[in-house]
Structure 1
Amino acid sequence: MEVKTALLTAGVSACSFRLLNTLMKYLPVPEPERRKVWMWRNTFTSLVHSSLTGTWAVLCFYQNPRMAEDLISSNSLFSHALISVSTGYFVYDLLDMALNQRLSQSWEMLLHHSMVISCFSLPLLTRLYVGFAVVSLLVEVNSVFLHTRQLLRLARGRDAAGSPPVAYRVTVLLNLGTFAVFRVCTLGWMTRWFSRQSGGLPRFTLMLGSLGLGLTTIMNTLLLYRLLRSDLLSNTRKADCDQ
């Protein structure tokens, strides 16, 4: 894919996700959370992106297994298009949060999205490190359950007695399970690969990759702590109090 085509694809992607978000205005929102309509629309749009790109990333390696052996120069039109579409989404979501959320609430995600856009710009424009970028998008498999969990919480995923329904409990387990596989293991593998290749990487790529991996590691650690505290530790404390 030529650079102009890749940029055009990213632009169309950003507009498409914005259109999807706008169309959400005409869909019913759970009654208890009408005051959080923006959050509902934003999370649902993020779920669509995760479902699309998570599946797409898996198919990239299924279609081209050799890409796993050469994450620097090996690529395909299919994988390059994935990077373009995902970059467009992150541009859209960054603008959506910047315009609709207070900075105190969104600064972590704004920082994350800015770093992702910066890192994805390299394979998008040079067609190098496409495989590495596709590996990073495997985390979107976990994001499917992460966003589903958030939607269930927005729809008051706990009944009046405070006990989580079956759908929420199953989603929590799938979220934590895929977190371990598609975030922890994937990030560990990416860090190991990057450290082994660091001696032969250009200085700019080394700096950008190190910042990206470092920030992602910190954010994933914080996210895991919050999930465990919210979904496991709080339930354990409640059970102890009920005894």
Structure 2
Amino acid sequence: MEKDKEQTVYIINQGDGMDSVQVWQAYAMCALSIMLMLAIRSVVTKFGKPKTLKDGVSFWKWRNILISWIHAVIVGYFLYDLYDMMTNEQKLIDWEIVLHHVLLSTVMIYSWTNKLCIAYSVILLTSEINSIFLHLRKLLQFTKVNFNSWLYQLVAMLNLFTFITCRLFPQSRLMFGFYTDGHRISKSYFILLLLTYPIGFVINIVLFWRILKSDVLRRLKGNDKLLNKME
């Protein structure tokens, strides 16, 4: 008597995360986000320049950083920030930020629209955690807060910590993903990623060095000079 052959039943998971994704919802959220930031900008403009702002700091710069900080807490801000800089003729002054926003917005919109590398995109969005402290640090610099105060030092240290853990590390993982998962995507999309993300990574490395030099190395150098005078 022949043994009955076991039959394997394959169950197809309909919720595979591809067809179930509604791209229009992402575009709607993006549009609503920009409208919200424009509304906040109108409110901030109505109140005008705060008295605590340092002399020489432009109202636009303070307003842009303030709204970017609010945006970092709520949702990503690339498109609004890019629009704000372009309309206020800051594209040549802050060209590296404009380049960063253009590259990242282009590749993310393309990826989300075509439902490609969504997991990597989500990992990259952890950099917005760092943006909270990055913009808060800049806001403190614009005001009359002492750089040696506990508040500024706390924000500066949290900024450096989250810059490494939430910005540089995820981006390094993405760069490694080019090697491990590059064969799983089309050549044209792979070339697009190679032309965008590495440039953004280099920009972030330069930004990290500037912050490290300003908040740590300069402070250590100042302490050494003070010790030499005491001797």
Q: Do Structure 1 and Structure 2 share a fold, with TM-score over 0.5? A: yes
The TM-score, its normalising length taken from structure 1, stands at 0.77
The TM-score, its normalising length taken from structure 2, stands at 0.81
* Residues 28-65 of structure 1, C-alpha deviations (whole Å, 9 max, x = no match): 62433374211111111111221123xxxxxxxxxxxx
What aligned pairs does 1:1-243 form with structure 2 within 5 A after superposition? 1-27=21-47, 29-33=50-54, 35-53=57-75, 86=76, 89-158=77-146, 164-243=148-227
RMSD, aligned CA: 1.9
1:231 to 1:124, Cα distance in 2 relative to 1, 3 A: same
More helix as a share of residues: 1
Whether the 8 Å contact between 1:122 and 1:129 is mirrored in structure 2 is no
How many Å separate the matches in 1 of 2:90 and 2:50? Answer: 22
Between the two proteins, the alignment pairs up a number of residues equal to: 205
How many Å separate the matches in 1 of 2:73 and 2:24? Answer: 26
How many Å separate the matches in 2 of 1:178 and 1:124? Answer: 25
Task: Kindly state the Cα deviation for residue 167 of structure 1 after the two structures are TM-superposed.
Answer: 0.2
Q: Secondary structure at the match of 1:31?
A: coil
How many Å separate the matches in 1 of 2:130 and 2:142? Answer: 19
Q: Which amino acid aligns with 2:159?
A: N
Whether the 8 Å contact between 1:33 and 1:155 is mirrored in structure 2 is yes
Q: Which amino acid aligns with 2:214?
A: S
Structure number with higher relative contact order (C-alpha < 8 Å, ≥ 6 residues apart): 1
How many Å separate the matches in 1 of 2:211 and 2:89? Answer: 22
Q: Rg: which structure is higher?
A: 2
How many Å separate the matches in 2 of 1:21 and 1:3? Answer: 28
Q: Secondary structure at the match of 1:105?
A: coil
Whether the 8 Å contact between 1:98 and 1:106 is mirrored in structure 2 is no
* Residues 125-166 of structure 1, C-alpha deviations (whole Å, 9 max, x = no match): 1223222211111011111111110000011332xxxx5211
How many Å separate the matches in 1 of 2:90 and 2:201? Answer: 24
- Unmatched 5+ residue regions in structure 1? 54-85
Identity %: 25
Task: Kindly state the Cα deviation for residue 120 of structure 1 after the two structures are TM-superposed.
Answer: 1.3
Task: Kindly state the Cα deviation for residue 3 of structure 1 after the two structures are TM-superposed.
Answer: 4.1
Q: Which amino acid aligns with 1:178?
A: T
How many Å separate the matches in 1 of 2:37 and 2:187? Answer: 34
1:4 to 1:180, Cα distance in 2 relative to 1, 3 A: closer
How many Å separate the matches in 1 of 2:28 and 2:67? Answer: 21
Stretch of structure 1 that moved more, 165-174 or 92-101:
92-101
